[in-house]
Amino acid sequence: MNPNDILAKAETLRNNLSSGFRDEIVKSLYAEAETIAQRAVKTANEKRYDFDQKIDRLVTSPLTGLPIMLLLLAIIIWLTVSGANVASDAIATVLFGFGEWARALFVGWNVPWWITGFIWDGVYLGLAWVVSVMLPPMMIFFPAFTFLEDLGYLPRVAFNMDWMFKKAGAHGKQSLTMAMGFGCNAAGVVATRVIDSPRERLIAILTNNFVPCNGRFPTLIMLATVFVAAGFSPALTSIIASGTVVGIVLIGVAFTFLMSWILSRTVLKGEASAFTLELPPYRRPNVSRILYTSIIDRTIFVLWRAMQTAAPAGAIIWILANVPFGTSNLAAAIAGWLNPFGILLGLDGIILLAYIIAIPANEIVVPTMMMMYMGAGMMVDGPSSSAAIFDLLVNGNGWTMLTAVNLMLFALLHNPCATTIMTIYKETKSYKWATLSVVITLGTAFLVTFLTASVARLLGWA
Amino acid sequence: MNMTFWLIVLAVILLITFLPRVGLRSQYKSYRAAQEREQVEDALKHLLDREQAGRHASPESLAGILGLSRPRVTGLIEDMETQGLVESRGDQLHLTADGERWALHVVRAHRLWERYLADEARMPLGQIHSEAHRREHNLTDAQLDELDAALGFPTRDPHGDPIPTREGTLPKAEGTPVTAWQADRPARIVHLEDEPALAYEQILAAGIRLGQDIRILERTPQRVVLSDGENEYRLAPAVASNVTVAPIPEHELLKRESVPLTELAHDHRAEIVTLDDAVQGFTRRRFLDLGLTPGTIIYPELQNFFGDPRGYRVRGTLIALRKDQAAQIWVKPV
């Protein structure tokens, strides 16, 4: 019999198959697997099931489920923010100290000032800044998150939250990728691989940026402390500041749902695909695996991508601040041109320029802004006390309450950082989706800040 | 200086216009060629459609379908005759063997795309026809084979129409219009005619789905009333004649004694009887992968505080399903 005859025969036989033959194949595979499993596997008792069931009832019941979820999220974020502060300072001392020392060495060798400045005040400072601000929160957040993942708790969150996502035309597992986004939006985008239907996965990718990441928390915390909490008694300061940040995060979540809803009715129209969610049994977390996944797969992965973009950003910042233009430098000139547009959005030119330069990494927004407000030649930390920052911004540079509020909104809604855009491109293999992710976020940020600024001005608040 | 500038401008304009392949002129030409090919393909489809219905296409019917003026249609027909795709005898247009092969190729492309859009992209049924119509042109046989294989060699499109094979044979559409069906016999809907679109919209709006089992409650010259046991569907006879039915397969009668998984009470055990025929492609594969095969024991174990989704214990694992998914799994309480 020649191959063509066999193919022809197969073709005729195929047409006679009943429609359910695939079901039958899978059924027989499962039956076979079951007989093998019965021979080889012995089940000791059913106790573990009961224990799992008890925990499940607890974490999914209306009374305890939601509070447990919010409490865990709050603990993780609190651990990250407060723990990272200490570590960041330590790393910064070491890295900046080394930079000072190397700089002094260069000066001693009589290297021209612009080479020394470009390398140590530009490229190196940018790298050191991003590493010291980015590394500690990720080293705390990712292991904590991976711990919950390994425990088997995270799918229960997706189970609890699915009803809301269903209304927005999205997948319950998007709640997990959003939670991951608190650590880093690029990691959040990678995490969307757990969503198996392509449409819902794209929704999760495109909206992930509305969750503020570690890199944006410092900006939000600084503004909340200096502007919102300053009016209250010192005892209340930290509570008011955290409350403000939580409020901003909730606004971000609301925008995630709104944008998911809009996307699922326009560009990504279609019915919800199969929602199937496995709820695995609870397991004792495996410490070495947690450390491996969180440090190697997540932290190093994200940090490496961020460093690739932070070094050129450092160089650009230094050039802008040190190339003379007219009576001042290039940075001041560009900020001047951007100023009318910035004012329209309730911001100013320096903020917009800082955000353009900080596309590679949101961590350097505040130091770049401070550099320009203080007229320094390289990125600086800014004044150390809240009152001094308030004085610099309000009395020195014409900020109002509107500027602070709109900057918080802009920090929350603006375009993804370069690392995240790159990751979106790698995950979707499409320039179109990567571009769209920028267009919808930036469009939302412009629209919202423009509206708040206009309303505030019409009502005479600013 | 000025002269040089204008010469460069002129050279750039000439380049943009006449550059082979990427230039504006060749872009426009390939766009026109694609458009002409689309017109030819649509015309072929119409001819095939008419021939299968035992009627013949005419220049008028073609002009109506394509929305072209008479002179344009005459030109198109002349073109197709030169290419050896059609023959006109008097006022009737006939497909040649070549023409029929090409027409079947386009029909195959259209129906495979519909299958893909319905099963894998999960587009609403009302939208797939126009989307498939946009995608059916300019495809090679090899590309279609790839699509065919990726979909698992489907035999029917989501409306129940047969999909032509690669060799160009078109399985005969089975079934009887519901208007000619024996009134007291239960039947399964095997085909919903999607043209004219207005009638199809009415069928969908009434809530009738492919694969539904129905009985005829009433059939008068004014209306046809169908029932699936729960709901009643009223249609005008002209619309109802676009609904084709066939006898219910033996094994499917099992479904009679079963309930959808959503109706199973908390912690009650049941055995899976079958997955609904409406579940195809991606969703069905996913269900089977998770072990939701006929004969498996399943019971709801975990309640969500909003009722949806629910967690079901299957083969020792806990799997959460949304209501609309669970409604497609038929079970028999044990």
pLDDT value for A204: 94
Q: Does A275 contact B304 at a Cβ distance shorter than 8 Å?
A: no
Locate the chain B residue with the closest alpha carbon to A34.
B315
Establish if A3 touches chain B: CB-CB under 8 angstroms.
no
The residue from B37, B68, B95 where one domain ends is B95
CATH code (residue B37) = 1.10.10.10
CA–CA separation, A400 and A346 (whole Å): 9
Best mutation target among A278, A279, A283 (most B Cβ atoms within 10 Å) is A279
Q: What's the pLDDT score for residue A46?
A: 60
Q: What is the ipTM of this complex?
A: 0.79
What are A165-201's pLDDT values in tens digits?
988 889 999 999 998 898 889 889 999 998 888 888 9
The token pair that represents A123 in the structure block: 């490229």
If asked whether residues B242 and B257 sit together in one domain, one would say: no
Contacts of A30 in chain B (CB under 8 A): 291, 293, 296, 315
For chain A, first and last CA: distance in Å?
Answer: 88
Query: Does residue B296 sit at the A interface (CB-CB below 8 Å)?
Result: yes
Q: Which residues contact B219 (CB under 8 A, 6 or more apart)?
A: B179, B183, B225, B237
* pLDDT tens for each residue of A296-348: 877 888 788 778 878 888 888 888 888 888 777 888 888 888 888 988 898 88
Surface-to-core class of residue A362, CB atoms within 10 Å of its CB (0-12 exposed, 13-18 middle, 19+ buried): buried
- B297 and chain A: CB distance < 8 Å anywhere? no
Residue B206 belongs to a domain: yes
Please, which residues have CB within 8 angstroms of residue B227's CB and are 6 or more apart in sequence? B214, B215, B217, B233
Q: Does B325 touch chain A (CB under 8 A)?
A: yes
Which structure tokens are listed for A85? Answer: 């502060």
* Whether B6 and B91 share a structural domain: yes
Q: Check CB contact under 8 Å for B275 and A23.
A: yes
- Token readout for A83 is 């723990």
**Strand B310-314, strand B297-302: pairing:** antiparallel
Please check whether residues B243 and B261 belong to one and the same domain: no
Least CB–CB distance from B288: residue in A23, A65, A281? A23
| Contact list, B304 vs chain A (CB under 8 Å) | 60, 159-160, 162-163
- B286–A196 CB contact, under 8 Å: yes
Burial (0-12, 13-18, 19+ Cβ within 10 Å), A21: exposed
Instruction: Give the H or E element holding residue A204.
Output: helix A198-207
Tell me whether residue B162 is in a domain: no
Beta carbons of B213 and B247 less than 8 angstroms apart: no
Residue A295 C-alpha from the chain's centroid: 17
pLDDT tens digit sequence for A362-399:
888 888 888 888 877 777 777 777 788 888 888 888 88
Neighbours of A69 (CB within 10 A): 19
- At B253, the pLDDT band (50, 70, 90 cuts) reads low
Q: Which of residues 153-182 of A touch B (CB under 8 A)?
A: 155, 159-160, 162-163, 166, 172
Do B62 and B88 sit in the same domain of this protein? yes
What is the nearest CA distance from A63 to chain B, expressed in angstroms? Answer: 9
Q: Residue B57's closest CA among B90, B81, B82?
A: B90
Cβ–Cβ contact A56 with B under 8 A: yes
User: How buried is residue B173: exposed, middle or buried, by Cβ count under 10 Å (0-12/13-18/19+)?
Assistant: middle
DSSP E strand stretches across chain B: 86-89, 92-95, 176-177, 187-192, 213-219, 224-227, 232-235, 243-246, 259-260, 270-275, 297-302, 310-314, 317-321, 329-333
Query: What does DSSP assign to residue A430?
Result: -
For residue B145, pLDDT over 70 is answered with yes
Q: Is residue B89 part of a domain?
A: yes
Distance from CA of A23 to the nearest CA of B (A): 7
Give the mean pLDDT of B38-57. Answer: 81
Whether the pLDDT of residue B230 is over 90: the answer is no
Comparing CA positions, the residue from A181, A95, A103 lying closest to residue A132 is A95
Residue ending a domain, among B48, B63, B95, is B95
Q: Which of B151, B276, B304 to mutate to test the interface with A (most CBs of A within 10 A)?
A: B304
Q: In chain B, how many domains are there?
A: 3
Which residue range forms the structural domain that includes residue B196?
176-248
Question: B66 in a domain, yes or no?
Answer: yes
Is A199 in contact with B171 (Cβ distance < 8 A)?
A: no
Contacts of A282 (CB under 8 A, 6+ apart): A51, A52, A55, A151, A152, A153
Q: Give CA–CA dist A278/B316, Å, rounded.
A: 11
Cis omega (within 30 of 0) on the bond before B309? yes
Q: Which residues contact B28 (CB under 8 A, 6 or more apart)?
A: none
Please indicate whether, in this complex, the C-beta atoms of A278 and B319 are within 8 angstroms of each other. yes
Within an 8 Å CB–CB cutoff, is residue A16 touching chain B? no
Q: Residues A201-235, buried b or exposed e (16+ Cβ, 10 A)?
A: bbbbbbbbbbbbbbbbbbbbbbbbbbbbbbeeeee
Q: Does B322 touch chain A (CB under 8 A)?
A: yes
Q: Does A273 touch chain B (CB under 8 A)?
A: yes
Structure tokens at A413: 């809604």
Spell out where A202-285 has E strands.
276-279
Determine whether the interchain pair A276/B121 forms a contact, defined as Cβ–Cβ distance below 8 Å: no
Say whether both B327 and B291 belong to one domain: yes
Rounded CA gap, A200 and A174, in Å? 8
Nearest to A133 by CA among A379, A321, A354: A379
User: Closest by alpha carbon to B240, among B197, B277, B208, B211?
Assistant: B208
pLDDT score at B36:
83
Residue from the list B124, B127, B322 with its beta carbon closest to the beta carbon of A275: B322
What's the rounded Cα separation, in Å, for the pair A390 and A376?
18
Domain stops at, among B95, B117, B152: B95
Give the 3-state secondary structure of residue A199.
helix
Assess whether pLDDT exceeds 90 at residue B193: no
User: Same domain, yes or no, for B18 and B82?
Assistant: yes
Buried b (16+ CB within 10 A) or exposed e, A323-355: eeeeeebebbbbbeebbeebeebbbbbbbbbbb
Helix H or strand E encompassing A344: helix A330-344
- Give yes or no: residues B244 and B257 share one domain: no
Same structural domain, B86 and B15: yes
pLDDT at site A271: 64
Q: How many CB atoms lie within 10 A of CB A193?
A: 11
Give the mean pLDDT of chain B: 83
**Residues 6 or more apart whose Cβ sits within 8 Å of residue A369:** A350, A351, A354
Query: What pLDDT was estimated at residue A272?
Result: 59
Kindly state whether residues B30 and B14 are assigned to the same domain: yes
The answer to whether residue B158 is domain-embedded is no
B61 near B46, Cβ under 8 Å? yes
Q: Is residue B270 part of a domain?
A: yes
**Contact call for B320 and A162, based on CB within 8 A:** yes
Indicate whether B7 and B85 sit together in one domain.
Answer: yes
User: With an 8 Å Cβ cutoff, are A278 and B317 in contact?
Assistant: yes
Secondary element (H or E) of residue A329? strand A328-329
Q: Is A62 on the interface with B (CB under 8 A)?
A: yes
What parts of chain A have a pLDDT lower than 50? none
Which of A11, A60, A163 minimises the CB distance to B302?
A60
CA angle B58, B60, B61 (to 5 degrees): 70
